[in-house]
Structure 1
Amino acid sequence: MAIKFSDKALDHVIDEMIDVVENSKDEIFNISEGARSEYERLVIELKETKEKVIQHIENGDQLEKKVKLSRQRLAEVSKYFKKYSESDIREIYEKTHAMQTKLAMLRHEEKVLRDKRDDLERRLISLAGTIDRAEGLASKISVILNYLQDDFKRVNEMIEDAKEKQEFGLKIIEAQEEERRKISREIHDGPAQMLANILLRSEIVEKISRNGDLDKVINELKSVKTMIRTSLYEVRRIIYDLRPMALDDLGLVPTIRKYIATTADYHKMEIKFIIIGKEKRLPQKYEIAFFRLMQESLQNAIKHARPTLIQVKLEIQSNYLTMLIKDNGQGFDPETKKDNSFGLMGMRERVEMIEGKLMIDSKIGKGTTVSIHVPYSC
């Protein structure tokens, strides 16, 4: 009975986690839709404002011509003062003054409309950025949601023994929570922080633009562009770590090659990749399994072994597949069971699912070699 209760509790936790992610996705969608509605409203308002600006310019130009003619008439009256009566002179002067006053008011209204137009354009640019970011976050959460659902489904299929399922289930919840904390930290320290800086910089650009300093505006926009590019790189890296789309599109070898290059660049360390045999597409279950096994081995080495060199070798033959992940790190004693050995347990389960063998050769101070051998036929 205790085991059944634990299973139900685990299912409840999984459902709660998925609900939280789905609700977050809905909230981001609502933010995006609200921003989109505001954007459409501002587009209409901007169009009307531009039309008013054009109308004011045309009216001002016409009035300015009339003022010019009236001033010429006034100059003529002043020159031949004796020809005109006092009432004629007063009428011409008052008419000219009235038109000049009206022209000044028109030009002022035109300036107000121009400022409003510029402000609307800046707000539209900011809203467009908000919509893009919201859609990007919604897509990323969809990836995370699929990742959680797929992994929990796979775990439930892998664990058949009821007693082991209880312990294994608790471990995977901890791993999932740690992965969520990691993603949260990466988003907070990377894209979220960068977006906050971009917002601040955009406000600076707005203030500078009002002062008419074009050079400073251009420099600030270049800085904002650099920040956006960096933020985009970080978001793509996070998404790639969750599930590289290249695995479905290009296959195992190109995906491993790209992942290793990205990981080596990110951690500033040397990682070599060697492919033996004919490079070709494999059935999906082998590609997913070998990529995840390589990913887990690589991350374990980077996190725990502190190596200066990691070598990954993949051999594809007609009747078997072999992968070796070797590092020159500090090593460990495979016979000593650790509380945090869940990663190795999951790797063994994954290899057994494709009827393969996993061997780990490690000695303290001598590095570690992970060997995976799977029978395979075309």
Structure 2
Amino acid sequence: MYVTEANIDFQLLDEVMNKTISSVEESREKIFDIAENAHKESNYISLELEALKREIEWVISQTDELELQARKARQKLASISRSFHQYSEAEIREAYEQASQMQIKLSLSRDKELHLRQRRDELERRHRSILSTIEKSENLIAQMGIVLNYLQGNLRKVGIALESAQNQQLLGIQIIQAQEEERKRVARDIHDGPAQSMANVTLRSEIVERMLNQNRIDEAKVELRLLKELTRASLMDVRKIIFDLRPMALDDLGLVPTLRKYLEEYEKRHGIETKLTLLTPECRLQNSIEVAVFRLIQESLNNTAKHAKARHVEVRLEFKPHVVHFRVLDDGVGFDQAVKAERPQFGIMGMRERVKLLQGKMKITSAPGKGTSVLFSIPLRIEEGSKRGNSIETKP
């Protein structure tokens, strides 16, 4: 009897949960559509604003030229008025007509400039409103994503976990929030980079098509060259986003070559001199271990760039039969570890959790003015037949 009632309760709960999840997903899709339409309108308004600003600049220059011509016409008319008897009736009429026409043209040009400025101000207000809508919708999508992650999980297991460890719940929420923030960042990178470029490519393609239809071959060639440069830039943006998500070189080449490439880019981006030191010959590791080691080094280097004010940073790697040791050292400002312990950062906490999951160890050594050293030790299984290279120290 009790079992039957419990089963009925769970069935009802599942039904309610499924309806709730369906409703939340449907609402999220609608908000996504709103955000997508807002993005499109934002792109069109941006393009229209650029064209409008160029037109305003041209009208302003025309107005300035007309003002100069009107001033000369008035001066000529004033000169005729002072020496009226020296000019014929035709000359006087021509001077009056010229001054009148220039004044009419000037007035029309000023009216056009005023109208264009008003249109520009209106578009800018609309653009700000649309950007606000985009931001709100993206925040809502992120929050609803967090809700769905919990709703779609096994709530009974979550309840058992909460009874045993409330701190794990807090960490779980922080991890999900970090995942949503990362997705939001990637989405924004794609929108601000490749998506904008693709919209520009579409617009310029239409321009080239019109030029070709009008037999403006030379102008079309110029636009095509610009299109080629824009496409190359978009490709670079896409490759950078892919590398940030998952360095493909890890799968193809392994940890050390990927680190060399990353350190080269890091040195260019942050102006911090880098050095990669291999204390033992290089070895290929399990794919999951290589990814974990790379991410831990990457996070350490990001902290150096953000907080250390360092001029040099070094990454040391040591491959042992059953463990890999690696250290990230910088010559930056360092910090008081006692003060830092009172205000733990989520980045460091996430690194410690990753190391804990790998059953490894992490040790931070630092002092004000003495730089910072982060030492990791991760247990591993080296894949057979994968040793290569004998260099001990390399400069990326």
TM (normalized to structure 1)?
0.55
Q: What SS class does the counterpart of residue 293 from structure 2 fall into?
A: helix
**4+ long deviations beyond 4 Å:** 375-378
User: Quick check: 1:358 aligned with 2:362?
Assistant: yes
Matches within 5 A, 1:82-121: none
- How much has 1:339 moved relative to structure 2? 5.5
Task: Name stretches of at least 5 consecutive residues in structure 1 with no aligned partner.
Answer: 1-10, 28-144
Alpha-carbon deviation of 1:311?
1.5
* Residue in 1 that maps onto 2:244: 241
Corresponding residue SS for 1:326:
strand
What residue in structure 2 maps to residue 372 of structure 1?
A: 376
Counterpart check, 1:337 vs 2:337: no
1:176 aligns with 2:179: yes
* Correspondence 1:121-270 to 2 at 5 A: 162-270=165-273
Maintained 8 Å contact 1:278/1:317: no
Separation (CA, whole Å) in 1 of partners of 2:376 and 2:321: 16
C-alpha distance in 2 between matches for 1:293 and 1:181? 22
In structure 2, what residue type is equivalent to 1:186? D
Shift of 1:208: 2.2
Which of 336, 349, 355 is equivalent to 2:353?
349
* 1:361 CA displacement: 1.1
- Secondary structure of the structure 2 residue equivalent to 1:314: strand
Query: 2:39 matched to which residue of 1?
Result: none
Which residue is 2:331 aligned to? 328
CA RMSD of aligned residues (A): 3.7
1:330 alignment partner, SS class: coil
> What is the DSSP-based 3-state SS (H/G/I as helix, E as strand, rest coil) of the residue aligned with 1:280?
coil
Q: Decide which moves more: 326-335 or 221-230.
A: 326-335
Unaligned runs of 5+ in 2: 1-16, 34-144, 383-396
Q: Cα distance 1:208–1:261, how it changes in 2: closer, same or farther (>3 A)?
A: same
Identical aligned residues as a percent = 43
Instruction: State yes or no: 1:315 paired with 2:318.
Output: yes
Q: Give, in whole Å, the separation in 1 of the partners of 2:342 and 2:231.
A: 42
Q: CA deviation at 1:370?
A: 0.8
Instruction: Tell whether the 8 Å contact from 1:251 to 1:287 is kept in structure 2 after alignment.
Output: yes
* Equivalent position of 2:133 in the other structure: none
State the partner residue of 1:100: none
Paired with 1:198 and 1:293, the residues of 2 have a C-alpha distance of 38
- Tell me how far apart the structure 1 counterparts of residues 336 and 238 of structure 2 sit (CA, whole Å): 37
Matched letter for residue 364 of structure 2: I
Equivalent pairs, count: 239
Q: How has the CA–CA distance of structure 1 residues 174 and 339 changed in structure 2, closer, same or farther, with 3 Å as cutoff?
A: farther
Separation in 2 of the partners of 1:333 and 1:176?
Answer: 30
Provide Cα deviations, 1:172-230, integer angstroms capped at 9, x if missing partner: 13322321232233223221222222223222222322332222211211111111111
Deviations 1:54-94, CA, capped at 9 Å, x for gaps: xxxxxxxxxxxxxxxxxxxxxxxxxxxxxxxxxxxxxxxxx
- Give the letter aligned to residue 373 of structure 1: S
Structure-1 separation of matches of 2:176 and 2:332: 29
Q: How does 1:26-105 map to 2 (within 5 A)?
A: none
Structure-2 change in CA distance of 1:170 and 1:353 (3 Å): closer
